[in-house]
Amino acid sequence: MSWGRYREMLLEQLQRAFEANRETIQAAARLIADTVAADQIIHVFGSGHSQLVALDLVGRAGGFANVNPLFDPLFGRAERLEGFAAALLTAHAFHPGDVLIVISHSGRNPAPIEVALHGKRHGLPVIAVTAVAFSRSLPSRHSSGKRLFELADVILDTMGAPGDAVISLEPDLYVGPTSTAIGAALLQAVIAEAAAQLLDRGIRPPLFRSGNLEGADAYNQELRARYRGRVLSLI
């Protein structure tokens, strides 16, 4: 059963990724906690399917209210075009104390690399979510020659397979990508750890509640008002 093989491989990869990222999850969480404690902004970018992972942090129950999505309206169709991400970033402001999360399975395309370089120029620590071994095997498509993992202060390694899909039906026919599930899980682990670290510091984390809970709408509106004008409201 292909679905059973996918389940087994996904769970195995998820376990390996959590074990491999024990220290980096905590390091990323410290950066996030520092940003929240300083009343600054968490910027997050992913292009193409990586944008799904980025949006998983935006406006959802149990997530921080100070997350600013660097939204790609073309959903990856221009991620190989150098200069495209730079144009997107003109709609956003980076400030000292902010933190930047960039997601890219291959880490080789210009869009995520440009966003990471922009963050570095503005003094932001960069958290990368990428498949390191796969990325090392590929040349960069950006004129800098850099890949995403080479620009990051903290790397969350998804341990992803080349080409992402893990189930071979025939020698040249694969199904079962894992980057979305693993990337989202690692980042939600970072959020959970960051929130706990904030509580340890005596700071109540600004976490959204599910809109399906009684009283949540008013609570969430107060959080949105706190960051209005500083984050792009998509959800």
Tell me, letter by letter, the H, E, C secondary structure of 149-205.
HHCCCEEEECCCCCCCEEEEEECCEEEEECHHHHHHHHHHHHHHHHHHHHHHCCCCC
pLDDT at 84 over 90: yes
Question: Averaged over 46-71, what is the pLDDT?
Answer: 97
CB 178 within 8 A of CB 13: yes
CB 118 within 8 A of CB 22: no
pLDDT at 82 over 90: yes
Predicted local distance difference test score (pLDDT) of residue 33: 98
The confidence band for 233, taking pLDDT boundaries of 50, 70 and 90, is confident
- The continuous run of DSSP H or E covering 45 comes out as strand 42-46
pLDDT at 1 over 90: no
Place of tokens 């990368």: 128
Instruction: Give the chain's mean pLDDT.
Output: 97
- Whether this prediction's pTM lies above 0.75 is answered by yes
Predicted local distance difference test score (pLDDT) of residue 176: 97
Q: What kind of fold does domain 2-227 have according to CATH?
A: Rossmann fold (3.40.50)
pLDDT at 188 over 80: yes
CB count in 10 Å sphere of residue 110? 23
pLDDT at 41 over 90: yes
Tell me the per-residue pLDDT of 4-30, one tens digit each, with 9 for 90 and over. 999 999 999 999 999 999 999 999 999
- The continuous run of DSSP H or E covering 118 comes out as helix 110-121
Tell me the per-residue pLDDT of 115-125, one tens digit each, with 9 for 90 and over. 999 999 999 99
Question: Any idea which of 81-85, 100-104, 112-116, 230-234 has the lowest mean pLDDT?
Answer: 230-234
173-177 vs 165-170, strand pairing mode: antiparallel
The candidate with the shortest Cα–Cα distance to 82, out of 42, 110, 112, is 110
Question: Averaged over 93-97, what is the pLDDT?
Answer: 96
The confidence band for 235, taking pLDDT boundaries of 50, 70 and 90, is confident
